[in-house]
Amino acid sequence: MLSEILQLDIFRFMMAFARIGSALMLLPGIGGHLVSIRIRMWIALSLAFLMLPVVGAAIPSMPKSVGGILMLTFGEIVIGLFLGTVVSFVMSVLSLAGSMIGYQTGLTNAFSFDPIAQQQSQLLTGFLSNIGLLAIFATNLHHLMFQAIAESYDLFHPGQPLPWGDFTETLSHLVTETFRLGLQFSAPLVVAGLIFYTGLGLLSRLIPQLQIFFISQPIQILVGFWMFMASLPMITTLFLKFFEDSLIPYLPPR
């Protein structure tokens, strides 16, 4: 009897770890390469252990065959990866906005490490990604990520067929929203850049002897930085709202 209870608890724990660990692998601030693999493993194991009393009742009993166990584990991993991908897509809106802003400010050749893309990217892209990540943890919205993972057991029951159609539709809609919001975040600088480059083109036609790029580069950087700092509070506020609205559908109504 004792052995059956231990086996049942271990099975439920591993099933919870499969979903939670897969999601944490893609979550910002936790699943990045800057975090040690051992620390990420301990965080995933700790969260699975803490959430087990809450989500354990939703996990079905252990299948009799090895194939059934593998299929159940595969489904849990896919659901966890889906939840992590949703958060990654939400964070990518800052990378897109930073790239567009970088082109308008003339800082495309300045690089820094982007914690979201996990690679070297434009200076403003890395800056925006770090600001967004800091804002999420400062406003405790990272609790919403963990709550969405825990509440996902009510939305995606373990052992049930995976809603592949809903997964693809959700991700495609999220990609569209990401591009739309990324363009909106960078719209002030894009419009200012179009006006600025139009003026430079007219000036170069009127005064061909003028070294237009030598004169325009400092002005472009100065005006671009001023407009970027003026729009940064709006970008941060709208991003946090978009982050919250993207995770609210995975929480059951209270």
Structural domain boundaries, residue 86: 2-250
Residue 254 has pLDDT above 70, yes or no: no
Residue 112 has pLDDT above 60, yes or no: no
Backbone angles phi, psi at 65, to 5 degrees: -105, 160
* Rounded Cα–Cα distance for residues 205 and 195 (Å): 16
- Closest-CA residue to 51 (of 19, 28, 91): 19
Q: How confident is the model at residue 253 (pLDDT cuts 50, 70, 90)?
A: low
Q: How confident is the model at residue 141 (pLDDT cuts 50, 70, 90)?
A: confident
Number of domains in the chain: 1
Whether the Cβ atoms of residue 145 and residue 27 lie closer than 8 Å to each other? yes
Q: Give the Cβ contact number of residue 88 at 10 Å.
A: 17
Residue 204 has pLDDT above 80, yes or no: no
Predicted pLDDT of residue 68: 83
Predicted pLDDT of residue 5: 45
Average of per-residue pLDDT across 25-41: 78
Between 6 and 79, whose confidence is greater?
A: 79
Predicted pLDDT of residue 1: 43
pLDDT > 90: percent of the chain: 0
How many Cα atoms sit within 13 Å of 101 on the Cβ side?
31
* Rounded Cα–Cα distance for residues 103 and 109 (Å): 9
* Rounded Cα–Cα distance for residues 158 and 234 (Å): 40
Backbone angles phi, psi at 112, to 5 degrees: -150, 170
Between 56 and 19, whose confidence is greater?
A: 19
Average of per-residue pLDDT across 222-244: 85
Residue 124 has pLDDT above 60, yes or no: yes
Predicted pLDDT of residue 4: 46
Q: How confident is the model at residue 119 (pLDDT cuts 50, 70, 90)?
A: low
Q: Is 171 exposed, middle or buried (0-12, 13-18, 19+ CB in 10 A)?
A: middle
Which residues sit opposite 119 in a β-bridge?
A: 114
pLDDT tens figures, 35-48: 777 888 888 888 88
- Closest-CA residue to 189 (of 107, 92, 90): 107
Longest dimension (CA), the chain: 92
pLDDT tens figures, 59-87: 888 888 888 888 888 988 998 889 888 88
Q: How confident is the model at residue 2 (pLDDT cuts 50, 70, 90)?
A: very low
Beta strands in the chain (DSSP E): 111-114, 119-122
Predicted pLDDT of residue 108: 61
